Amino acid sequence: MVYLDHAATTDVRPEVIADVAAELGALGNPSSLHGHGRTARRTVEESRERVAEAVGATPHEVVFTAGGTESNNIALKGLYWSRNAEDPARTRILVSAVEHHAALDPVRWMADHQGAVCEELPVDALGRVSPRVLRAAIERDPASVAVASVMWANNEIGTVQPVRELAGVAAEYGVPFHTDAVQAVGAEEVDFATSGVSALTLSGHKLGGPVGSGALVVARGLAPVPVLHGGGQERDIRSGTLSAPLTRGLATAVHTAVAEREEHVKHLTALRDELESRVRGVVPDVGVNGDPELRLPGIAHLSFPGCEGDALLMLLDARGISCSTGSACSAGVAQPSHVLLAAGADPDVALSSLRLSLGRTSTGQDVDRLVEAIGPAVERARAAMAKRRR
């Protein structure tokens, strides 16, 4: 089996498995005041310190969550509610048109149910939001903007956004700026303090950590209204009993991914470039999506004219090769990628695309297997589409 879907989820690191397993044998609720509870609390707080150090934050700014989706919901809903409560005129949420659905859908829900005005910022042909576009959107009515959000790096085409410049524009107008950095941590240099962002989302299972672990980094002075109410844990931003095993596993994954980033990027960049070159040798008219320069090292997002991406996915799966047509959260639905459509791609091109994403355990043999299978798969997919159109 060949796994080329690391952007959806990746291998849990052996050291993470060991840490989680060790902690699962310990007893104690981190909120309890007795000895067992204090021991569990020590694990949580040490984990908080490790995560904060890895992403350039202070421990107080790290709020543990169950993952990227929850972190995005807390940031976008919570900051909107907080800012709108201070001034009811603040109704606008600015979000890029190429966000993961874990950000887009909460904002659209807020528009449908909470009186928010959802404005999706347009992107260029490479999938990038220009700081000029954000500035123009804010300047239409600065006093009405509650929060802005643009992901650090796109999960489908890999384009890296000018986050520091965008955060700087938002700061000029006093607008909190959130970024979904789920794909960026461990692949890009992510430093919360110097980036200028107000809130940052990260997720464990994209980094070799356990599924169900994540964090929202929230700058001092911001108090998003909680989505969950209960025991008041995590600065009253995220109630719920903390999992010492998951926080320890998350901390180990984040710390290790950041420490190994430079070598990891070199490995993935070389492998991705080889993959794209060799696929082009077999399928000369293949298209490469995303920014050719500023994109994640492990993502090759390719369009195969005359094919349907879903058909290619299943043909490759039959050969033991796992990949994706885009975001795993929308897999199985035959519709064009909203990311490619926002970047101006033709719907047929968007439907013909595959995301081949590499990870820490990817090898040259994986590329060999893909190259061996892709030619026959494209030929069969094109023949099937031509037959349907006759």
User: Catalytic annotation on 307?
Assistant: no
8-state DSSP, 130: -
CB of 206 closer than 8 Å to CB of 182: yes
Token duo for residue 111: 């528009």
* Alpha-carbon gap, residue 5 to 28, rounded angstroms: 36
Measured in whole angstroms, the distance separating CA 291 from the mean position of its chain's CA atoms is 17
- Tokens 């690191």 sit on residue: 13
* Alpha-carbon gap, residue 351 to 311, rounded angstroms: 10
What phi and psi, each to the nearest 5 degrees, are found at residue 342? -65, -30
Choice among 118, 307, 323, 329 that is catalytic: 329
* Alpha-carbon gap, residue 374 to 372, rounded angstroms: 6
* Alpha-carbon gap, residue 179 to 197, rounded angstroms: 7
* Alpha-carbon gap, residue 242 to 47, rounded angstroms: 12
Helix or strand or coil: residue 236? coil
* Helical segments of 114-175, H only: 131-139, 163-172
- What are the catalytic residues? 329
